[in-house]
Chains A and B, each alone.
Chain A
Amino acid sequence: MYFNSFAFLVFFACFFTLYWSLRGTPRLVLCLAASYFFYGWWDYRFLSLIVVSTIVDYLVGLALAANQSPGVRRVLVASSVVTNLGILATFKYWDFFAESLQSALASVGLSADWPTLNLILPAGISFYTFQTLSYSIDVYCGILVPERNLLRFATFVSFFPQLVAGPIVRATEFLPQLQSDRTFRWKEFEGGFRRVLQGFFKKLVIADSIAMVADPLFRDPESFTAVNTIILVVLDAFQVYGDFSGYSDIAIGLSRMLGFRLPENFCVPYLATSPADFWHRWHITLSTWLRDYLYIPLGGSRRGHWLTYRNLSITMLLGGLWHGASWNFVIWGAIHAVLLVLHRAWVTITGPEQQPEVPIMILPPRPESTDVNAWWAAITVRLAKSAILFAVVCLAWVFFRSPTLGMAIQIISQMVPLDGFNLSLQNRIPLIKACGLVSILVLAECISQLTTLDRIVHQSPLIRSVYLASIVWMIALFGTFTGTPFIYFQF
């Protein structure tokens, strides 16, 4: 069941009404049942994977609380790691590694008959296994008291708004919210509704409109000239952003309507001024997960430059592989690893960059009176940095979106000769529409940097209503209602 389907709207309307008319345990039971129904709608057989992951980590949590012996605790946490990564490895990576090994052996004249499983990839497997894994690790580290209520724990693992594509929620953030009944607050409901509409706008209006013109590039790149390819590669970057941040907005908004707070996942990522800044703004819950459960345990930046570079590289390569079982994702991760290492080396030479006072703002604070020229110069430098980084990020997305390595290389190589722009009139309209809509998104994101748009919108219910209604009208007029699945559902 996709968020952008009519079935989901009916499902959520029914669920929402029932949810707020129940209290206590029945409400939790409803949450869990609805979450399993939501997931089972896609393929009920894979519910067993969530149930296994849930029970294993629940029992591991209880056992960790009951055992103080370091050896036993290590075995317990290892069993959680093996189970979760085992599920992930079997369903997601088995065929990839089997085929890669066979190819590698074949290249040196050896042959190995390693069976491939050809399993369907269960939706959201990468997300919920990471959630349960982090729970066990947190309990092992003593950061978290284990949850004794199985119903509560199972609801945390399977909470449907974020089950399939995040944000990746830590148990430390979510379990406390399940301890007591959420109360209906109008402000939360309205704020959540606004986020949901914003999410639908990003998905239906931005991402799916771009998909109409950009997706053909990743099916038949040969039909496009260099200039067309460049335009579509840039648009594709906005498609990925609109698609994924749209999903996150909907997930966060739905949760707020139910009284829950989920962590933010995006913060104007394409206005980032450095690779490190980009990863503070893009898929924040994954990058912080990787930082806390991989990069820091590897040693982080505490053991000298070379080990820091190594740790960054390992983290980003595995981060790339987390997205999908393909060399394209590994290369995508490697590109970001190289960027982060180069940036780190640069920072080591030049000293740390000045951090903006408010994390969301990338623009320097405007001076009182005199230094206006310097202020504009600072803005120009930051925008130039953002533009350069954006260009490299766009190139990296080519590997991310291409089905094969050969196609990614072809797309990049055909961008080099800057030859003609010859889209026929037939195709020009969706392209113009996509470009226009992207410029609206870019404008909105830039305005949010100059003033806090939220503050203006929040001033009056009337303004808020006009704002919300405008989003509804825009979706009706510009939305693409083809039911295109979210890109991140495949992960």
Chain B
Amino acid sequence: MLDSLIRRWLWTSDSDDGVCMDAIELSSSRSRFVWIGCTVLAFFVFVWIGDRAAARMMNRLVMSTHFRYAEIYKGELPAGLVILGNSRALHMFHPPAIQEVTQMEVANIGFNALPTVLMPAIWCDYLEHQPSPKKLIFEVTCIGRQDEPGSIARFTTFMPQSTGLSQAIRHFSHREYVASQVSHLYALNSELTWRSLMFARRSDRDWIMTETASDERIERVLELGTEPLIRSPANVDAAMQVLRIADEHQIDVVLVVAPYHPMYRKSLVELPEWIDWLQAQLGRPVLDYSAEMTDKPAFADHLHLNPPGARQLAEMLHQDGLF
């Protein structure tokens, strides 16, 4: 019977007249059941093995890129100054501009919609794989932001590299964690995987939005209202962890609110009160630069600077002694 099964598996042509289980040689219902069971099981084993093998290859590919998180886990992102936050950190603190102004090595480990709750794990992983930097600039408006759906799940790409990240994803997005355990390919089904591949040959350190925001665009945004600044205990707790880890490594931390587009900033009336609340929660001062840039062409949109704007900000912070 085994011989018959193998032969059938390797090369059996089903003719169009509808060869069915009832008609094939396996006569008894028991052997038919065994045949179906073996086939289904073999298929699932095959899918499982392929999933693991393909995910392993994909993972190696991702880790061979120059994407910032791949570089963190390879220990290839040492710096004297580290920037942390979401897209407002990513597109405000432009490493080439800061390096030019300060002559310091800068690593921006912020990312678009990076959830605050994942920051302790990423920050910890950074310090585990790189020597401790002198200073951490933490753009704190991410603490007041509601995480976008799926923003945590994007980081499943780097779960194999980090136990801390895995645990954080397990805690805050259990479904994604389980799905990523079931299928390792699914863990790689994220924006970060594809974005990594875009940086296969070049660094992503100079990544910044290049547009210039028009007044009409800002007005359209304002028609929808400003984004509320939430007071999330989970985010505050995560920020406290970031600070604690920095303290343990004797790293200076600067908490900062980066500039907003002047038109948008005017509408963000609850910001000063929110900053006061955050200072009380964290027990540290927060430097408020939200209204410090009045030059509209410096902005790519209501929340982010473009390269000239990022350069201006770098110079401003350097003059103020932050870098």
Contact = CB atoms under 8 A, between A and B. Distances in A.
A479 B14 CA distance: 31
A369 interface: no
Contacts of A433: 194
Interface string A409-443: 00000000000001011100110110000000000
A472 interface: yes
A422 B150 CA distance: 25
Interface in B178-231: 179, 183, 185-186, 188-189, 191, 194-195, 198, 207, 209, 211, 220
What is the interface residue range for chain B against chain A?
Answer: 35 or more
Interface stretch (B17-25, B99-107, B236-244, B261-269): B17-25
B51 A186 contact: no
Contacts of A481: 179
B173 to A, nearest CB: 12
Interface in B1-56: 8-14, 18-22, 36, 39, 42-43, 46-47, 50-51, 54
A479 B189 contact: yes
A430 B185 CA distance: 18
A477 B188 contact: yes
B198 A429 contact: yes
B189 A187 contact: no
Contacts of A185: 18, 20-22
B112 interface: yes
Interface string A470-489: 00110011110110000000
A184 interface: yes
B43 A465 contact: yes
Given A473-B54, A476-B185, A184 B21 contact: yes
Contact of A458 (B14, B50, B185, B207): B14
A88 B11 CA distance: 52
Contacts of A482: 149-150
B36 A460 contact: no
Contact of B209 (A184, A424, A476, A477): A424
A426 B8 CA distance: 50
Nearest to B194: A429
A277 B163 CA distance: 57
Contacts of B20: 183, 185-188
B13 A460 contact: yes
A425 B194 CA distance: 12
B12 A473 contact: no
Nearest to B217: A223
B185 A477 contact: yes
B22 A462 contact: no
A433 B194 CA distance: 8
A183 B51 CA distance: 33
B189 A459 contact: no
A425 B306 CA distance: 13
Interface string A168-196: 00000000000000011111100000000
Contacts of B11: 459-460, 462
A468 interface: yes
> Which of B10, B43, B179, B211 counts the most A-chain CB atoms under 10 A from its CB?
B43
A114 B270 CA distance: 46
A473 B51 CA distance: 6
A426 B112 contact: yes
A335 B21 CA distance: 49
A478 B193 CA distance: 11
B43 A432 contact: no
A186 B186 contact: no
B49 to A, nearest CB: 9
Given A186-B20, A426-B112, A460-B13, A472 B47 contact: yes
Contacts of B46: 465, 469
A459 B43 contact: no
Contacts of B47: 469, 472-473
B9 A461 contact: yes
Interface string A28-52: 0000000000000000000000000
Nearest to A422: B211
Contacts of A186: 20-21, 36
Nearest to A463: B11
Contact of B13 (A222, A459, A477): A459
A465 to B, nearest CB: 6
A230 to B, nearest CB: 20
A476 B189 contact: yes
Contacts of A465: 42-43, 46
B176 to A, nearest CB: 9
Nearest to A222: B220
Contact of A469 (B10, B39, B50): B50
A472 B183 CA distance: 10
A17 B33 CA distance: 14
Interface string A266-292: 000000000000000000000000000
Contacts of A459: 11, 13
Given A185-B18, A458-B13, A469-B47, A476 B183 contact: yes
B9 A468 contact: no
The 5 closest A-B pairs by CB, nearest first: A185-B20, A186-B21, A476-B185, A476-B183, A477-B185
Interface of B: 8-14, 18-22, 36, 39, 42-43, 46-47, 50-51, 54, 58, 112, 149-150, 179, 183, 185-186, 188-189, 191, 194-195, 198, 207, 209, 211, 220
Interface of A: 183-188, 222, 422, 424-426, 429-430, 432-433, 458-462, 465, 468-469, 472-473, 476-479, 481-482
Given A185-B20, A185-B22, 11 more contacts: A187-B20, A187-B21, A422-B211, A433-B194, A461-B39, A462-B9, A468-B43, A476-B183, A476-B185, A477-B185, A478-B189
10 contacts: A185-B21, A187-B21, A188-B20, A429-B191, A430-B191, A460-B10, A462-B11, A465-B43, A469-B46, A477-B58
